[in-house]
């Protein structure tokens, strides 16, 4: 701590590899999941198109040699192949060749190392909304091309132990201690990626974002209406039973689709060492287009299937959800995120 070099305690290449082997997570995907990670190069090789204003869409060359790296977020975007069969195929990703991209950086004044583990998904599916006992399918709301999610491991440089694990959950996330996880081999945390949205959690269950305290009268009304609909069997779009929550819903569970990060990773950047960087890492545009549709019309299509009292409350609560949780805009890549050079965003 008294040395002038803030990186004097940071690990070398062999030590970075040892940290990854000791603490890299296992990531389980939901059994109903349709959209899985892939390598960035697989996406480029399977018909991705680069769009820029005033230019004809064109393929990406090699590992991103022709991607702009000095513009703004809205100066360019990538999109799925234009032909429908390929578009649907590429959306699903390619789990068997997926790679975790790792960014190594210092933390807490150089006393710890952060291993930011990025997973790239070709598509983010539509969301669900929890309104008390009602689980409401949001259809296309929440869909967007490309999804970058990450897990960060914080390792103590002096003792070598895992101090914390950061789980990205849409626009923000949370730090958890290792004891909050099931640990494979005693040291490697088990992480669950949510259905369609790919947010990360430490438990295989259902979670809600931005849960809000509703008026007890509204809660009672929801349950009364829920049981009425179930008894009359007029409820094709809702279910839920005893699950109580309010906000965007994420479901997680174990399945045969799992990714062992320790056996499939690529260190793409080390902050404190000379390091060749792949062209796509410095791409400044978006990894997907902005999907445009009449948001209000889509909400009303869903709301009109609900009882009037529930409909009014659904619209009221949905309007309080930040746009970043329901957004349809393609994200920027890892290097353009705040966390690349700053702290993780927490809830």
> Is 40 inside a domain boundary?
yes
306 domain-assigned = no
- The two counts, helices (H) then strands (E), for the chain are 8, 18
> Which residue has 């609900």 as its token pair?
306
For residue 233, the SS3 value is coil
2: in domain? no
For the cut 60, the answer to whether the pLDDT of residue 303 exceeds it is yes
How much is the pLDDT for 340?
96
pLDDT of residue 211: 52
Task: DSSP letter for 95, please.
Answer: G
Q: Assess if residue 244 is contained within a domain.
A: no
**Residue 77 belongs to some domain of the structure:** yes
What is the domain extent for residue 115? 13-124+144-208+251-291+328-336
Tell me the C-alpha distance between 22 and 159, whole Å: 13
Tell me the mean pLDDT in the region 257-280: 95
Domain count, the chain: 1
308 lies in a domain? no
In this prediction, residue 225 carries a pLDDT of 80
The pair of structure tokens assigned to 188 is 């490697």
Q: Is 304 exposed, middle or buried (0-12, 13-18, 19+ CB in 10 A)?
A: exposed
Q: How confident is the model at residue 129 (pLDDT cuts 50, 70, 90)?
A: confident
> Residue 202 has what pLDDT?
97
pLDDT digits (tens, 9 = 90+) for 36-60: 999 999 999 999 999 999 999 999 9
Higher pLDDT, 258 or 136: 258
Average pLDDT along the chain: 88
Position 201 in a domain: yes
Per the listing, tokens 């009303």 go with 300
Query: Rounded mean pLDDT of 66-82?
Result: 94
Mean pLDDT of 140-159: 93
pLDDT at 260 (0 to 100) = 98
Long-range contacts of 94-99 (CB under 8 A, 24+ apart): 94/36, 94/38, 94/39, 94/42, 95/29, 95/36, 95/37, 95/38, 95/257, 95/259, 97/38, 97/39, 97/42, 98/36, 98/37, 98/38, 98/39, 98/259, 98/264, 99/39, 99/264, 99/265, 99/266
Q: Which candidate, 29, 3, 240, places its Cα nearest to that of 136?
A: 240
Note the pLDDT tens digit of each residue in 314-323: 887 776 666 5
pLDDT digits (tens, 9 = 90+) for 208-267: 876 556 677 777 888 788 777 766 544 433 444 445 667 788 999 999 999 999 999 999
The confidence band for 325, taking pLDDT boundaries of 50, 70 and 90, is low
pLDDT tier, 8 (very low <50, low <70, confident <90, very high otherwise) = confident
pTM of the model: 0.89
Whether 80 contacts 246, CB under 8 Å = no
Using pLDDT thresholds of 50, 70 and 90, give the confidence band for residue 292: low
Q: Report whether pLDDT(293) > 70.
A: no
Stretch among 131-135, 150-154, 260-264, 281-285 having the lowest mean pLDDT = 131-135
312 pLDDT more than 80 = yes
Q: Between 150 and 6, name the one with better pLDDT.
A: 150
> Is 231 contained in some domain?
no
**Residue with tokens 């409820």, as numbered in its chain:** 235
Output the pLDDT for position 183: 97
């Amino acid at each position: 701590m008294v040395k002038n070099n803030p990186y004097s305690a940071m690990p070398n290449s062999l030590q970075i590899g040892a940290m990854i082997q000791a603490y890299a997570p296992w990531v389980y995907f939901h059994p109903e999941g349709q959209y899985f990670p892939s390598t960035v190069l697989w996406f480029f090789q399977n018909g991705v198109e680069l769009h820029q204003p005033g230019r004809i869409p064109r393929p990406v060359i090699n590992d991103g040699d022709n991607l702009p790296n000095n513009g703004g977020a809205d100066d360019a975007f990538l999109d799925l192949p234009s032909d429908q069969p390929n578009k649907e195929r590429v959306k699903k990703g390619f789990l068997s060749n997926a790679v975790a991209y790792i960014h190594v950086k210092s933390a807490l004044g150089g006393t710890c190392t952060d291993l930011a583990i990025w997973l790239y998904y070709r598509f983010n599916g539509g969301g669900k909304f929890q309104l008390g006992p009602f689980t409401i399918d949001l259809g296309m709301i929440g869909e967007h091309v490309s999804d970058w999610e990450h897990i960060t491991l914080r390792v103590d440089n002096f003792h070598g132990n895992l101090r914390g694990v950061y789980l990205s959950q849409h626009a923000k996330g949370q730090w958890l201690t290792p004891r909050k996880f099931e640990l494979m081999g005693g040291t490697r945390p088990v992480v669950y990626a949510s259905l369609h949205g790919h947010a990360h959690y430490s438990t295989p269950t259902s979670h809600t974002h931005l849960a809000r305290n509703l008026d007890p009268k509204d809660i009672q009304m929801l349950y009364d209406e829920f049981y009425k609909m179930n008894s009359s069997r007029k409820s094709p779009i809702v279910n839920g039973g005893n699950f109580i929550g309010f906000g965007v819903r994420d479901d997680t569970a174990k399945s045969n689709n799992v990714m062992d990060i320790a056996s499939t990773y690529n260190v793409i950047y080390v902050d404190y060492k000379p390091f060749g960087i792949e062209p796509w890492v410095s791409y400044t545009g978006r990894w997907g287009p902005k999907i445009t549709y009449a948001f209000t019309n889509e909400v009303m299509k869903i709301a009109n299937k609900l009882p009037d009292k529930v409909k009014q409350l659904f619209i009221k609560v949905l309007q309080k959800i930040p746009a970043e949780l329901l957004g349809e805009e393609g994200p920027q890549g890892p290097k353009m995120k705040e966390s690349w050079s700053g702290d993780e965003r927490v809830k």
